[in-house]
Amino acid sequence: MTAWYKKNPGLYRKEQAAIALAQPGMALDIRPSGFRINQEQKWEQECAIAAGIYRLQAPNTMQYDYRIAVVLLDDYPNSPCVVYCNDPKLPIGNIDRHILANGQACLATPADLMCRWKPESGITGFLDEFVAPFLAWQVHFDAYGYPPPWGQRSHGIQGIIEFYAEMLDIPIEPYILKFIPLLAKKNLPKGHEPCPCGYGQRLRKCHFQSVKRARGFISWQIAISDLAALPHNVMITA
């Protein structure tokens, strides 16, 4: 795949200027293969990466600085960016702080990211929508020693359940995972199909409107991606 900054150098220059204006402590550059993002993670191929100090402006006029790296993947802006932590205040491998073992910031479930990501908003829109809330969450944790009442979902299967429960607007239950195959169909499921909730009703008499509403937020491609990521035994037993 030809990297986006080679296909569209104008967009690359635009994003460079935008991040320099919004976050002067960061710079977007083409980093060579082997670029070390933090002590745990090297990027193995040439890539566009915005790295440096992100300054979070809090509502109380306080400022908080965090060293991060934002990777703009080769198909950007079709896919959202990936964020890595490189700061002692962001402990790598602390899953309770939503930071993975390689320093990647767990900003949301993949489906949630794709649903909320607006390619036209650019790098600064990504920082505002995803990075600022993540770092504000970290500020609260450091200040009080416990998570705020808002912010990131749970990890793994539970996080996916929470996301689809919200999209389907139904209570959080394990059977929610059984709705994903319906959402992964290219066309709207038929009303005569059995409802995945397990109560023995046809979809039209049960959760049809929930499925129809969820498909307004979740593309069938995203649902397919989530379906492929779930362990097979989870899909059978949930």
Kindly report the CATH number assigned to the domain that includes residue 84.
Answer: 3.10.110.10
pLDDT, tens digit (0-9, with 9 covering 90-100), for 12-42: 999 999 999 999 999 999 999 999 999 999 9
Q: How many CB atoms lie within 10 A of CB 150?
A: 9
> Does residue 109 sit within a domain?
yes
Q: Could you tell me the residue range of the domain that residue 82 belongs to? A: 4-144
Phi, psi of 43 (to 5 degrees): -95, 120
- Are both 166 and 133 inside the same structural domain? no
The CA radius of gyration of the chain, in Å to the nearest whole number, is 20
- Are both 119 and 11 inside the same structural domain? yes
- Are both 228 and 187 inside the same structural domain? yes
Q: How many CB atoms lie within 10 A of CB 228?
A: 8
Q: How far apart are CA 198 and CA 140, in angstroms?
A: 41
- Are both 111 and 25 inside the same structural domain? yes
- Are both 106 and 192 inside the same structural domain? no
The CA-CA-CA angle for residues 146, 152, 157, to 5°, reads 110
Of 49-53, 72-76, 110-114, minimum mean pLDDT range = 110-114
- Are both 29 and 50 inside the same structural domain? yes
Of 82, 110, 144, the domain-final residue:
144
> Does residue 24 sit within a domain?
yes
Q: Which of 192, 218, 216 is nearest to 206 (CA)?
A: 192
Structural domains counted in the chain: 2
Q: How far is CA 160 from the centre of its chain?
A: 12
**With the CA atoms of 227, 95, 80 and 216 taken in that order, what torsion angle do they form, in degrees rounded to the nearest 10?**
50
> Does residue 151 sit within a domain?
no
**Predicted local confidence at residue 228, as pLDDT:** 80
- Are both 48 and 123 inside the same structural domain? yes
Q: First and final CA of the chain: distance in angstroms? A: 37
Phi, psi of 64 (to 5 degrees): -130, 125
- Are both 46 and 110 inside the same structural domain? yes
Decide the pairing of beta strands 47-57 and 42-43: unpaired
pLDDT, tens digit (0-9, with 9 covering 90-100), for 198-228: 889 999 999 999 999 998 888 888 888 888 8
- Are both 21 and 132 inside the same structural domain? yes
Tell me, yes or no, if the pTM score tops 0.85: no
- Are both 10 and 127 inside the same structural domain? yes
- Asked whether the beta carbons of 126 and 76 are under 8 A apart, the reply is no
